[in-house]
Structures are given as C-alpha cells and as structure tokens.
Structure 1
Amino acid sequence: MQITPENSVTEERLSLIEEIPANVIFTKVTGREEVSLHSHVHNRHQVIYILSGTLHVEVAGSSYFVTGRHLIWIPNGVEHRLSSNNTQISLLTSYFCLKDIREDCFAIYKTDELVVRNLNFISTHEYVDKSRTPEIFAFAMGFFGVLPYICKEASFPAQPFIIPKDIRLLPVLDYIKANLNQDLSIEHVAFCFGFSVRNLTRLFTNSGIRFVHYLNYLRIVRAIEILTDNAMNIEQTAYEVGFNSPNSFGRVFKQITGESPSDYIKKL
C-alpha cells in the first residue's frame, strides 16, 4: 500500500486504539476521520453512537445502513469498515476492554433518552482511568456491560445486504448505485452488461438478492442520506432517487422503514 498523509493518519489512529491500557476507556466525538479508516480490526470493544448523519458498516460479508440516534456495537477482534455519504457526520465513539460478556457479537441498537444521557456523561471524560476515577470507570464499564440487554436491536435501518462474492455482479451493483435516478429495469441492466435476463436473475438469486428489492432499498437509503443532509422536500427527493411519483416513493419508504417520509423528517 502506498503511504499517503491520509494513510499515515489512519495508521496512527489505529495504533492509538491498540495502545490504550486495559484499565482505560477512551471516548471521543469524531467526524469524517472515523469513517476514513480502511477495513480493520482492533483489540478493543467499540461502541458508536451516531449523533448526526448516516453510516454504512461492513462486517462479515454484510453491509448495514445505520441512521442517526442508533448505536453500533462492534466486539473486539471483529473486522469492520465504516463509510458515509453525508457531508456532515458526527459520531460518539468509545473503546474499552470488557470481559465475561455473554452477548459478544456485532449488533445495532435503538436508543432511548436514558442510554443517550449515559453516553453523553461518559463522553465528558475523554480518558476514564480506573486508577484515577474508579467510580466513573466502574459506572461506565457496568453501563457498557448491560447495553446489549437494555437496548432493542434495530430492524430497519440496519437491514443487512450480503456483499456478493461473484465478481461478475459487482460492476452491476455499482452501476445500479450510480444510476438510481434513472428508470432502471432488470432488462435494461442485463442489456448494459451483456447478460440475458435469466442469467442476471440467477446471479442475483445465487447472491441472495432480489433486483427490485435491492433497487428500492438503495433508493430509500439514498433518500434518507439526502433528507439528513439538507432541506430538500419529499417530492424533490422522490424524483431525485428515481421514483416516478411522490406517492410511490412514500409507499416504498414506509414498506422498508416502517414509517412515512414526513414522520421521518419530523424526527430529524
């Protein structure tokens, strides 16, 4: 890998995480520096609370889309990669060592006011050192230890998509992502890449993906990114992401997220 200033900062940050003593909790509010890291693994549990913006998280061959006010639990030793298409992204991230926890697997949780208040309290101390502030350390470790039990796992927007291993499908998926605002059909996409509709359908099926579901999911994900970043109204957003009417956009939005676009905007 060619060494660039960006890579240098990335490696420096990862080294910092690895060097944190086991009796210290490191918490920091970060921005794009957190999502510029390449796929990596470290020896600390990591909790990420999304203050603003949205995140794409790749773990174990699956890709997750996570919106604001959700919490991401990444156990130590789990390789992961974060990315974001939002211009404004703000994350509250904690790194810590935690032993003897039963629910030690990647998860995405909904949060409530109590959870957020505790996270904010812990974040007022960038380094919580057990030897210097034993009471706060004990509180923080106890809080992190019970998080998997007091939080409910999110459905959407944490629905995973399997990252296909068949390299023939990768440029097809990239094309769909880049042309969401076009009138896409599986016939059109198959023609563009020299596939028959039957063969392309088989490629999708073998990767556990349905074309229409994937297309609609990407369009709703992009719509959420747009609505999160700026004040574009629902009708503009519908056409921007490729729907032929605000009504069809609203219907698909609710099917996938469980709420209407207007309800989502109110939460923003």
Structure 2
Amino acid sequence: MHKPIGTLLLLWPTMWALLTAADGHPAPYLVFAFTLGTLLMRSAGCAINDWADRDIDLHVERTRERPLTSGLIRPWEAVAVFVTLSLLAGLLILPMNALVWKLAFVAVFLAASYPFTKRFFALPQAYLGIAFGFGIPMAYAAVQESLPLSAWLMLAANISWALAYDTEYAMVDREDDLKLGIRTAAITFGRQDVAAVMACYAITLGLLAAVGVVEQFRSWYWLGIAIAVVIALYHYALIRDRSREGCFRAFNHNNWFGAAIFAGVAAEFWLP
C-alpha cells in the first residue's frame, strides 16, 4: 500500500467498466468488492511475481532490496501470501453470479502465470495488460451477466495501455534486463521504444473512443479523452531522452491517464 500505483492501474479500468455497465449507478457492494478485490489481487500478484523473480531481482539495482530477495522472508512465505490473498479476494465474489466465478479462475491463472512470460514472450507487457484488465469483463459480468462489445473494447484498450506504461517501466531496467536475458517490450522495441509507446497510447485512445461511440457518450466523456491525450503527450516529453528518472516518472503518472478516463465516464452519468 506504500506504493499504490500498481493497484490504481488495475482499479481505474475496473471502475470504467463498472460504471459503464451499471449506467453510472453500480450497487454499493459491487463498488466495495471490486475496489478491495483489486487491492488484494494486486498484492497477491506482487507476492507471486517476487517469488518467481527471486533469483533475477538479486541482480537488478531497483529490486535487489525486495524482502524476498534480501532474505527478510522465505520463498514459501511469499507463496502463502499469494494463496491467502487470492482466497480472500474469492470470498468477495461469493454473492455474485456464475460467470463472475468462471472469470475469477481465469484471473487467478493470469496473475500467477504472468511473471513467467518474461522468460519466453517478447512482449510480456501485453500479457500483463490482460491480467491487469481482467476486472473489466468481471465487472460487466457482475452487472449484466454478459460480455458486450464495450467490455471487449475496454479490455483491448487496457492491453494497449499496459503496453505503453509497462514499456516505460521496462525502459528503467533495460540495461539490467539485457544482462540477465530477460525479455521485455523495451528490449523488443529497441530504438523504436519511444515511438512504440506513443503508438500504444494512440491505439488505447482510439479503442476508448470506440467505446464512447458504442455507448453513445456525450461531451463529458470526450473531454476525459482529450485530457488523456494531453497526458500522453506529457509522457512523451518525459521519455523521449530515455532517462531512467523520466521513464519512471511517466510510468507513475499513468495514474492520471486512468483517472481522466474515469472522470469522463463518471461525468457522463453524474452530470447534466
């Protein structure tokens, strides 16, 4: 909780979907369950990621002091944390329908398997986008018991957005990852990394615009899109020289990109 950016990057898309699926008025329990569930599953994901990367993190400047890598806790404890938090998150969906339960099993699989994609997949950030965005179909399922076109468009937008922000994150560790043979989008894109990040932002915004068309949103949503465009351009200014500090600032600033879209969705339903 002392570094909430990961949770927020999961929470914003989930809230986009929950508000849209419920026409701006989701049941209070759903808001509670998806908010707490996001925190629990993000925390579970951190635990299993640190367990999977425990031998790699030791050689990366930014991660060598993590509790598991530095020896403060043992590997079995990290696995126990993952299992415990996943079970607690599961309790939150007990009152929900069968489709939510089916999707929940997929979500746990995605969270547990993502850390290993860095060993063989050239764009593990795309897989992360599916894992980070799985609250979207779950939210639609909880409200509508179906997965309409908007749910898939939002999920696709989230995959593209994750490619953008997690490539910025990977640019921070590129030198260490090259030495260790880890695969990341920053390495795959090479010298085209900045252009690729901006292309991913453009695709994200295009897909979110398609959601607006499908849902027949009016001016407030499009204002949120416009603010997100400005934020994406600001990120270009931060990452264009590829400095570690700038790339890390851009990654963290994606909270405001997600918040801008959320504000646009909320205003559609809550303001005249």
Q: Which TM bucket (shorter chain)?
A: under 0.3
Higher helix share: 2
Q: Does 1 or 2 have the higher relative contact order (CA < 8 Å, sep 6+)?
A: 2
Name the TM-score, length of structure 2 as normaliser: 0.25
Name the TM-score, length of structure 1 as normaliser: 0.26
Greater radius of gyration (CA): 1
Higher strand share: 1
